[in-house]
Amino acid sequence: MKNIILVGMMSSGKTTLGKKLARALHYQFVDLDKLIEKDQGMDIPTVFSSKGEGYFREVESRILKEISTQKGIVLASGGGTPCFFDNMEVIRQMGISIFLDVPAADLARRIENHGKDDRPILSGATSLQETLQARITERLPFYSQADITLKGELDVNHLLEVLKPLL
């Protein structure tokens, strides 16, 4: 029973696809950001604003390592999770890592549809799409280490077919 870890930018579909995938496989769905919020007793934007990104990334890495021994989970990582400390190595050792590769224009549209107020790394961004493209470029060396890369619109049935020989 191999874990599945979804990586990619904010609004790439990690949570939405992860929940569907977990249901289809009878796995437990785990959202890393929700675990951080529970651990800290506050939401992610508040952790960022009150304690800073460095503190947040340390907590994120600690919690990732704490759950790394669980089995039968689909994990939605945070957008930046793979890019700090040895997190991508931890993710790769946990199970099958999947990079949800969504273009910046699509991400911008999704974020605008549900509001960017809860996204600390976007505060002060003048051009959402340009900011997202810069982040993608910066994070791609980490995301590209994933076992599988999925591009475009993501369908759980297609993903199940890709995963079947690996599980």
Decide if 166 is inside a domain.
no
Average pLDDT, the chain: 91
**For the domain that residue 60 is a member of, what is the CATH number?**
3.40.50.300
More confident residue, 154 or 124: 154
Whether residue 167 is predicted with pLDDT greater than 90 in this model: the reply is no
Provide the pLDDT for residue 136.
Answer: 96
- From 100, 124, 99, 142, select the one nearest 49 (Cα to Cα): 124
What pLDDT digit, counting tens, does each position of 60-88 carry?
999 999 999 999 999 999 999 999 999 99
Decide if 167 is inside a domain.
no
Average pLDDT (137-156) is: 91
**Long-range contacts, stretch 53-60, CB < 8 angstroms, 24+ apart:** 53/120, 57/84, 57/85, 60/32, 60/36, 60/84, 60/87
Whether residue 22 is predicted with pLDDT greater than 80 in this model: the reply is yes
Provide the pLDDT for residue 32.
Answer: 98
Number of domains in the chain: 1
Provide the pLDDT for residue 119.
Answer: 60
Q: pTM for this one?
A: 0.93
Q: Which domain holds residue 92?
A: 3-161
Can you tell me the distance from the alpha carbon of 74 to that of 71, in angstroms, rounded to the nearest whole number? 9
Question: Residue 108 to residues 74, 80, 140, 150: CA-CA distances in angstroms?
Answer: 25, 17, 17, 18
What pLDDT digit, counting tens, does each position of 102-128 carry?
999 999 998 888 765 566 566 666 788
Sheet architecture: strand order including 148-151: 28-31, 73-76, 3-7, 95-101, 148-151
Average pLDDT (34-63) is: 96
Provide the pLDDT for residue 123.
Answer: 61
